[in-house]
Every structure is written in structure tokens, then in C-alpha cells.
Homo-oligomer: A and B are copies of this chain.
Amino acid sequence: MLTRRKSKVESTPPMCPLSECLAIIGGQWTPNIIWHLSAGPRRFSELKDDVVGVSAKMLTTRLKKLEAEGIVHREVVPSSPPTVEYSLTDLGAELKPAIEAIVDVGHRLKLRRDAKS
């Protein structure tokens, strides 16, 4: 039997900075990009290889957005052929715990599913 709900329920968690963070890591590919950058600086083509399936277009789009938001740092190395280093800023590094938590849960979810099938 279901217990009757108190009119004010169990109190919803205070207020939600979820969107705040999701606006940053919400975009397609974005978590993957940040995740790969979390291991250290990468060049454009390295990232393109790491983040399997991403197109150059999307990768640039996301990197630009992340750079504008102060999450990643872009450093052009003047050389021929030119290379560009992408890395997480301090601000970007703060996202790591969240990404790791997601990875962790993803792992446990996978285990559960595999166990059931």
C-alpha cells in the first residue's frame, strides 16, 4: 500500500545548478572531448582520433564553445606544419569529478545489464 504523500513532499533539493553545468557539458561529444583532454593536452587530430566518430566540424564547434567558456585553452605552436595544443583550464579541470562520476555510473550500469542478459 502506498503511503500518503505529505502535502509538502520530502522537500525537493534546494535549487538546481544542474542546467548551469549541463549548458557546458551538455552538448553532443562534449563530455567525451573533456574526458580525453583530462588526461593531458592534445592536438586537434589526436582529439579527432580519440573521440571516435566525431567530425572535424563538430570538434571545432565544440572546442570553440569550450574555449569561449574558459573550459579549454588553445595554444597555437608556430611551426610547419602548424600544430595546435588543446588543454583543460583550471576551470575545465573542475569538470573532471562530474565526468568521472558519470563514467563510474556508466560502468556499473553496464555491469548490471551484462549480468542480467
Contact = CB atoms under 8 A, between A and B. Distances in A.
Nearest to A3: B41
Contact of A103 (B9, B18, B25, B95): B18
B97 A39 contact: no
A80 interface: no
Interface in A1-51: 2, 5, 9-13, 16-22, 24-25, 31-32, 35-36, 38-42, 46, 50
22 contacts: A2-B85, A9-B40, A12-B36, A12-B50, A13-B39, A16-B35, A16-B103, A17-B103, A18-B32, A18-B35, A19-B32, A20-B106, A20-B109, A25-B102, A91-B109, A91-B112, A95-B105, A97-B101, A98-B102, A98-B104, A100-B101, A101-B102
